């Protein structure tokens, strides 16, 4: 009996404890569950251009081409330098000597306007503020608003005098009021030019009065004009489209003659000195497309108007903007592994508008590629794929597709299951 008892005890010692037997069974069950879960996960499409349905991105509506003919060569102008800029994309359509620093004359007042508008928008000054006219402002030569020393003039009227009448006296008075003194204002002009990426610009006064070191390039002027319209659209339309202004009993007409010739032109700034020649920066809109034309160093008032108009007509005739996708529009909801959420909405962080010739527009297509193994954590705006816009085989634009929501890391069990799923993917 004692021997049998010892035998039973020996047999009992060689068997695993109940908890030890449970661990391998649990692991096997987990792996089996993960494998079965993987088998029922639909595969994520990597490239698609289908309409928005489930996880598929939206397709680009087929535009109706306005012109089927190929685009002819750009007009050749006599201006020393010029640029035609598409405002929506920032792309230059036509250019000659775009980065050559040259005297800009009164086109300088675009920057003076930009800084006054900025001060108005921030609340540092107000339209009805009364500015006392200094002796220096009153003594300014060249084009004038005809303000009087010691008198008070509102900021609004000074803006009209500077923009419509190109008054050097008004520009100086505004610079002194906004900057405290003219030199401080000029420092602000140069700092703002640098901030806007205007690499070929240096200012020495707020008016554009001739000075050896006072220069801008055609590209920089188009950049500044675009920023002024985008950052201060209400002020731009209020002042730059005005055709005349009367002050002190003297009516003066806007020197921007295209305002009187083309109803789609909505603003511009002229300039003229002996060194600069006749200059013009102007802008207009057609069918939601804004173009900015800059011509510098022409020989006459008529030449600058005709050449700027030729650039604008060329751009509107043969090019167009196509809106492709809006910022934050959900283009797909791909799967996410090891995350607190199983899927994430993806799209673009900025609106995508492309510039195309009108014959390219008829063949426009959009495709999107998403990383098939997105692993949490994911941050907002983290790139997860690419979106391409093509016309036929020609690549027109490429943008990052980004996560529109953050996806934090999931729990231990979720990470373990998704690790197994990734083995089979």
Beta strands 250-253 and 346-347: pairing type?
A: unpaired
- CA 279/CA 109 separation, integer angstroms: 13
Beta bridge partners, 407, equal 378
Backbone angles phi, psi at 147, to 5 degrees: -80, 160
- CA 282/CA 257 separation, integer angstroms: 10
Q: 3-state DSSP call for residue 263?
A: coil
| Identified catalytic residue from 109, 144, 269, 338 | 109
| 109 classed as catalytic | yes
- CA 333/CA 345 separation, integer angstroms: 4
- CA 216/CA 107 separation, integer angstroms: 9
Token pair, residue 68, equals 């089927």
Element of type H or E holding 378: none
- CA 76/CA 258 separation, integer angstroms: 20
Q: 3-state DSSP call for residue 26?
A: helix
Alpha-carbon separation of residue 324 from 51, 59, 192, 259, 420 (angstroms): 13, 9, 32, 31, 38
Residue found by looking up tokens 């700027």 in the block: 308
| Identified catalytic residue from 81, 118, 134, 166 | 166
Is residue 233 classed exposed, middle or buried when 0-12, 13-18 and 19+ CB atoms within 10 A define those classes?
exposed
Can you spell out the DSSP letters for 186-233?
HHHHHHHHHHTT-TT-B-SSSS----TT-BB-HHHHHHHHHHHHHH-H
Beta bridge partners, 337, equal 375
| 283 classed as catalytic | no
Exposure string over 345-356, b if 16+ CB within 10 A, otherwise e = bbbbbeebbbbb
| Identified catalytic residue from 81, 106, 118, 143 | 106
- CA 329/CA 60 separation, integer angstroms: 13
- CA 78/CA 90 separation, integer angstroms: 24
| 106 classed as catalytic | yes
Alpha helices (H) along 241-343: 258-261, 301-318
Angle between helix 155-163 and 109-122 (nearest 10): 160
- SS3 percent helix, strand, coil of the chain, rounded to 5, is 35, 25, 35
How does DSSP classify residue 373? -
Which residues are tagged catalytic? Answer: 106, 109, 166
């Amino acid at each position: 009996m004692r021997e049998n008892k010892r035998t039973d005890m020996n047999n009992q010692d060689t068997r695993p404890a109940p908890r030890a037997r449970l661990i391998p069974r649990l692991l096997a069950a987990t792996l089996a569950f993960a494998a079965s879960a993987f088998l029922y996960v639909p595969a994520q499409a990597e490239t698609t251009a289908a309409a928005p349905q489930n996880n598929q991105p939206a397709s680009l509506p087929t535009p109706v081409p306005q012109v089927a003919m190929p685009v002819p060569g750009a007009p050749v102008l006599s201006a020393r330098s010029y640029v035609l800029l598409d405002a929506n994309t920032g792309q230059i359509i036509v250019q000659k000597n775009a980065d050559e620093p040259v005297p800009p004359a009164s086109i300088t007042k675009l920057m003076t306007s930009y800084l006054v508008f900025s001060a108005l928008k921030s609340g540092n000054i107000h339209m009805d503020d009364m500015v006392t006219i200094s002796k220096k402002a009153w003594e300014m030569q060249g084009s004038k608003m005809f303000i009087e020393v010691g008198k008070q003039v509102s900021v609004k009227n000074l803006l009209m005098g500077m923009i419509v009448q190109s008054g050097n006296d008004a520009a100086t008075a505004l610079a002194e009021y906004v900057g405290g003194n003219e030199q401080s204002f000029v420092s602000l002009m140069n700092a703002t030019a640098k901030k806007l990426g205007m690499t070929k610009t240096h200012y020495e006064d707020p008016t554009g009065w001739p000075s050896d070191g006072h220069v801008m390039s055609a590209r920089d002027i188009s950049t500044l004009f675009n920023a002024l319209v985008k950052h201060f659209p209400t002020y731009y339309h209020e002042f730059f489209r005005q055709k005349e202004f009367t002050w002190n009993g003297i009516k003066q007409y806007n020197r921007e003659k295209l305002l009187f010739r083309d109803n789609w032109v909505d603003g511009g700034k002229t300039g003229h000195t002996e060194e600069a020649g006749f200059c013009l920066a102007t802008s207009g809109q057609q069918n939601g497309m804004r173009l900015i034309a800059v011509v510098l160093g022409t020989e006459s008032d008529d030449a600058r108007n005709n050449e700027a108009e030729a650039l604008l007509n060329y751009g509107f005739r043969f090019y167009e903007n196509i809106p492709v996708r809006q910022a934050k529009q959900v283009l797909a909801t791909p799967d996410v592994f090891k995350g607190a959420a199983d899927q994430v909405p993806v799209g673009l962080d900025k609106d995508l508008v492309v510039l195309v010739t009108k014959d390219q527009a008829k063949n426009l297509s959009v495709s999107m590629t998403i990383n098939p193994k997105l692993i949490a954590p994911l941050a907002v705006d983290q790139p997860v794929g690419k979106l391409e816009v093509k016309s036929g085989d020609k690549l027109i634009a490429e943008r990052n597709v980004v996560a529109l929501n953050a996806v934090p890391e999931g729990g231990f069990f979720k990470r373990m299951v998704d690790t197994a799923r990734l083995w089979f993917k």
